[in-house]
Structure 1
Amino acid sequence: MAKLILQDGTEVEAFTADEMKAAVEKETGGLKAKLDELLGETKTAKQRARELEEAQTAAEEERQREKGEFKTLYEREQQAKKELADKFTEFQSKVQRQEISLEAQRLAGQLSKDRDRSELLAEKVAQLAKHTDAGVRFEIGGVEVEHDKVLAHLKSKYPFLVDASGVTGGGASTSSNHGGAVKKFNEYSGAELSDIRKRDPAQYERLKTDYYGTGE
């Protein structure tokens, strides 16, 4: 440090140029170090922020991917459940139809031993049947009825399908059959009656009317 004498004779000390330069460099060096430190911290903070943002983006993408996969799996599961339920319903309906058919055939067999007539009667019986939790039941006019009522209804409405031994009443008139052979309506088989009805409905009605005295 140099000594200087002012005009008034006062003696003072002052830094030399080298000392001033060294002091400035020392001060600025500290500030530079501090600045570098702050810049480093800022860079680290930015890096961490960027890494956090990238991690959050990746997590969101993963969440969306999992959400999409879950949705797909859920939809597949619901579709599988629906298909299974549809198959069960179809199977259940098939079983119910079979049970109705068997019951209808059983009742029809009590009215006619002729196969063709019995099949026609079974169709009529099935139209009156419904399947409930308690099994096959029958309704006539919306009223549930027992088997004997079903049989009586069929005998009354379709007497021409019932075996002769099971028919009450009816006329005994006869009808000619293509050239003079006398044959009653109830003497035809179910197959013959079905064939006549298809070929010549008018003849079928005449035969039935001649025998029973009235149409169906």
Structure 2
Amino acid sequence: MPDRRAPDLSPERGERLVREDYKRDFRERDAQLRGRDSWKLERLQYFEEQGSPSRDALRRGDWEEALRLLEDRRGALLAIGREDEERRSFFHRVRVIETPLTAYLQWELHSLRMRAECGERVRIVPAEKLAGTEEFSPLPEVVILGGRTLYQVLYAETGIPNGAVRYTDPELVDRWENYIKDLYEAGEDVRTYFDREVAHLPPPSTGTE
């Protein structure tokens, strides 16, 4: 694991974006990327995914339907993977995991394994490995697009998305990109993690979300 602390993220150094502005800004900047990779750090253990039929099925406790609906997205994810290849711009994700897994995380790991099968680069980092850097607070949710734009993604306490803070200072973006890269290099490929820790698990109880 990286032996240095995560860089600071001071809100006053960025620009607050409401959810719709964040989504639009992200799409526009991502569409322009060519030959530059992007990085994401996921730390929270529970999200309320919006507009996901599979996530809705999980809430209802219909595990088989949740997995079937995830599989329905494989074609779209493969198309994204082909586009990333053409642009030579690849998306890397570091997923921090606490155990025992919540129902949400068990579901998300099925999703992340499929994303990896479709071309996304996903690695797992156990939360206990971050004890030194998380002495005072958990790491934030961070996305870096093409080495130029950093978003600290915000969520309400209920896990509902709540926009982002956008940072474009080159030095800050570079420090965070290098930090996430170090986590990625120290992590485990989601597919081997899934095969060992998740594949054998019975359907989760939604009460563990």
TM-score (norm 1): 0.22
Greater helix share, 1 or 2? 1
Greater strand share, 1 or 2? 2
Q: Which has the higher contact order (CA 8 A, sep 6+)?
A: 2
